[in-house]
A and B are shown apart, each in its own frame.
Chain A
Amino acid sequence: MKSFEFFEPTTLAEASSLFAQKHAQLLAGGTDLVIGMKAYTETPETVISLQKIPGLDGITTDNDKSISIGAMTKVRQVELSEDIQQYHTALAEGASEIGSIQIRNLATIGGNIAHASPAADTVAGLLVADAQVDIASADGERSVPINELFTGPGQTVLKPGEIITQFRLLHPASGSHYIKHKIREVMDLAFIGVASAVNMQNGVIKEARIGLAAVAPTPIRATEAENLLSGKTPTPELLAQAGEAAAAATSPISDLRCSAEHRKEMVDVLTRRTLQNALDRV
């Protein structure tokens, strides 16, 4: 690990102005950053901890069932939240897939998203929850939809000094499901991740959202597949068409974990499976 300067600001404004410096990195849970620093893949000159800033964690549910999740909320809390389990099952399931319980007790949802790994386990769930990402900086606040946050692997629209403060989940789903394609039951990264969420009306799919992780440079929504589903009565044929459409929307890479063809094939299979399970949960 390279030597670095360490700050523990107690206000967002202070953190934001420090963060605007060159070569600064934010420390949330540390489960990505510290490992990277030990491996010399991250060599920040300055590390700014967000852990002393009050008010950045916690989960609150409003009367209209919309849910806010503070960026510093531990992934384990997201996993165990009854409201998230009920209205955004796919997100709770994604949270439960990260590392081990010990890691989930350290890792934060904000860190999982800001790290911008295309394979992040909470991202597909946030995509199908159509989450709004609230961002603060010394210049003020703004909000972007989660599907506009990412620009590439490890890249986001966040500008120097901007810090994610919370995620707002405004659209509860009546059924959702996340599947992580992986080798091991625990302690593994997603070869791909697929989340599907549906809302039903009189036996017809009112709206469907499909979030895909690790199949493109950024996490994506499979909008063509979603459009194909909306207003239709679910049948195995329809789900198969949606699976194919979702796979067609991807541009996966081949890497040591998985070949591109394998990833594409899995998007097809897992889109069908997550849709079916989401429908079963309605």
Chain B
Amino acid sequence: MSEKKEYKVIGTRPIRHDGVDKVTGRAIYGADFQITGLLHGRVLRSPHAHARIVSIDTSRAEAHPGVKGVVTAEDLPAAEDKMADLGEGAVSLKYLCDNILASDKALYKGHAIAAVAATSPHIAEEACELIDVEYEVLPPVLEVRQAMESDAPILHENLRTSSLGETGDKPSNIASHFQHKKGDIDKGFDEADVIIEREFVTGTVHQGYIEPHNATALYNPDGQLTVWCSTQGAFTVREQLAEILQYPISKIKVVPLEIGGGFGGKINVYVKPVAALLAKKTGKPVKVLMNRADVFEGTGPTPASYITIKMGATNDGKITAAQTSLVFEAGAYPGSPVGAGAMCVFAPYNIENVVIDGYDVVVNKPKTAPYRAPGATNAAFGTETVVDELAEKLNIDPLEIRLMNGAKEGDRRADGPVYPRIGFIETLEAAKEHPHYASPNGKKYHGRGIASGFWFNIGLESSVTINVNPDGTVNLVEGSTDIGGTRASIAMQAAEVLGIPAESVNPTVVDTNSIGYTAVTGGSRTTYATGYAAYEAAQDVVQQMKARAAKLWDVDEDNVQFADGEFSSINGKEEQISFRDLSARLGETGGPVIGRATMNPAGAGGAFATHVVDVEVDVDTGKVEILRYTATQDAGKAIHPSYVEGQIQGGVVQGIGWALNEEYIYNDEGEMTNASFLDYRMPTCLDLPMIDAVIVEVPNPGHPYGVRGVGEVPIVPPPAAIANAIYDAVGIRMTELPMSPDRLLKAMGKI
């Protein structure tokens, strides 16, 4: 373990700055937003999973009393098939626009077709039913293996497979195929004494954020477009609006309101451009809200997948080769997270010989969106189950085989990167030392499972300004949506530098006109990158204030030092002034002080986690009860340990839901039949034990306090850990998610 630094603010647990507003119900969420003259928008959605749109007649809806405007894809600027750059790689503009309002084809049930703005939400709903759409219904394809068949229904006539640098010559649902290679895979398997090869299938799952998507848009006569909304990134919304609407970015202001959960699902836009089109058409502000069914059917879930994993190891436990094929459903348009899955699939292990094939396949489901470590959970379900099976075959403890093969600093991942200092081994050791692992596990139908996981984390751009107030407090201005307590974790990093309490920093998340570019709250980047910017902005404040003290004392600036919230003179004069006292004297020493920093840090540092779970299987009913759960995770440095624990617990809970119950259920027509929280079953707090979150701290060399992102990796191990525990309990290897009572009873031969 590294040297322990002494901090005053970092590592403490102050009350979050936005806490009172949120618990008293005062925080303004998207649906709460009000403005004079507001109209209400509603989106008409396709009842078919796959259909050609023959015609759309909006005349009856337009004539309906109270209706102020109707829009269809024709109201979007003509989207030639050019590529739009949204900062996270180029995407086809036509695909982007067609997902907002379908132009020629409806590609999933729930695909937006048209939208109405009216004087009340009910009128807008009624008017949607008056829009006459003629469809030519086509057979849908809902599963990747079927979509890859040569005779499968084709979603996009112009889509050609891009495979290892070659482009296919006929229409296909396989958008792309890529490969990562390391070493000599044949040699690796030749060296192995035991080889395990298994197939895995995972279901389509949704992020399940509580707050549905929303947007209120206003077009001013001067051409200024303002959009108030819930989003993980106001600047990302601005970019997407500029591309989809083909509108100058300088004329768009996005105001982020409070967000009721995102988990990756509130990066892509859905109703925001629709609200903008309706606002333009009506000249009035228009609010568009989704209901829960809209959210399930019309926004991006994370993909179902079909995965094969083959791994080989020697009798003494060394993993010599690993090969995988990851086939991910992209949804209706290309762009599944298979690339990220490929980065993570064997990431926890140092394996010499690796081949990873990734396939991105379109199917008649909503275009997938990120969800907490996108792709990594699917992949880890396969890898971690096979590692467990290898350990069993070789009669090695499952933690030991991971310790023997675990990746360390200097090891190279199959997709290229060489690890800096990482903390995977430390998470394994923490799990091994935890009382949970030493506790008895022998009861009938009880089982214990282990699994690990990796997420790479990202850096990207962040901007922070800090305004010093005369009472020694500061206002911290940032552009990062606060989903999981980042106002606090960012403010605390500035407070540490300034030597003031966390409560003396007032963090505010502002609109796109009021702060420098800031990338999304995603990729577990916010406490890392925006926190880093806050650290640098606070350093800037200190530098400027040193100059003020120097002026006050008439000494050279270099002779002023700052420690523990006090400025002092180090040469000659015995002068001292506190941060607070000096902040009252800024006017007389040259005017206000504003610290600023912009960043695009590269050293996000990877996050690793190891989970231990005990389950009890009811062999008569197929129900799996989680008895005990321990999650160890390398947080680098936990700025606010409560929120790190909260992220770990939240990720585990979502992982448990994914493992046991959550899935999109489709009928043969391609209709989702469980588009509600009643039948899309996420676990409640009463379904779970207290989840013991164990924070391991192996500082990230890429951050001044050693921070690593923590939000995503905790969702990665749970499905595999639970599958391994079920095997331990009843001797059945579950290879399909979710491991619902129905599936478990079938696997046990009971039904």
A residues lining the B interface (CB < 8 Å): 1-3, 39, 181, 183-189, 256-259, 261-262, 264-266, 269-270
Contact = CB atoms under 8 A, between A and B. Distances in A.
Given A183-B681, A183-B740, A185-B687, A262 B122 contact: no
B187 interface: no
Contact of B686 (A181, A186, A264, A269): A186
A3 B122 contact: yes
Nearest to A255: B673
A43 B683 CA distance: 32
Contacts of B677: 187
Contacts of A189: 678-679
19 contacts: A2-B126, A181-B621, A183-B661, A184-B681, A187-B678, A187-B684, A188-B678, A188-B681, A189-B679, A256-B665, A256-B679, A257-B679, A258-B741, A262-B622, A262-B741, A262-B742, A262-B751, A265-B750, A270-B621
A191 to B, nearest CB: 8
Given A256-B674, A258-B742, A265-B750, A184 B683 contact: yes
A266 B621 contact: yes
Interface string B670-690: 000110011101011011000
B620 interface: yes
A221 B432 CA distance: 53
B751 A269 contact: no
Nearest to B681: A183
* 5 tightest Cβ-Cβ pairs between the two chains A and B: A185-B686, A261-B751, A269-B620, A256-B665, A256-B673
Contacts of B621: 181, 266, 269-270
Contacts of A2: 126
A261 B745 CA distance: 10
A181 to B, nearest CB: 6
Is the contact region of chain B dominated by helix, strand, or loop, or is it mixed? loop
A3 B121 CA distance: 12
A106 to B, nearest CB: 16
B122 A1 contact: yes
Which of the four size classes fits the interface of chain B?
A: 20 to 34
Interface in B408-458: none
Interface string B629-668: 0000000000000000000000000000000110001000
A73 B347 CA distance: 59
A5 B665 CA distance: 37
B682 to A, nearest CB: 8
Contacts of B122: 1, 3
Nearest to A1: B122
Contacts of B745: 262, 265
Contacts of A188: 678, 681
Interface in B191-212: none
Contacts of B665: 256
Nearest to A269: B620
Contacts of B741: 183, 258, 262
A265 B751 contact: yes
Nearest to A263: B751
Q: Name, among B122, B677, B687, the residue most crowded by chain A CB atoms within 10 Å (CB to CB).
A: B687
Contacts of B293: 39
Contacts of A257: 679
Contacts of B683: 184
Contact of A184 (B684, B750, B751): B684
A189 B681 CA distance: 11
Nearest to A259: B742
Contacts of B681: 183-184, 188
Contacts of A185: 684, 686-687
Given A184-B681, A187-B684, A262-B622, 4 more contacts: A183-B681, A261-B751, A265-B750, A269-B620
Contacts of A186: 684, 686
A189 B745 CA distance: 20
Interface in B696-751: 740-742, 745, 750-751
Contacts of B125: 1
A184 B685 CA distance: 10
Interface string B609-637: 00000000000111100000000000000
Nearest to A40: B125
A187 B678 CA distance: 7
A184 B625 CA distance: 10
B362 to A, nearest CB: 24
B225 to A, nearest CB: 31
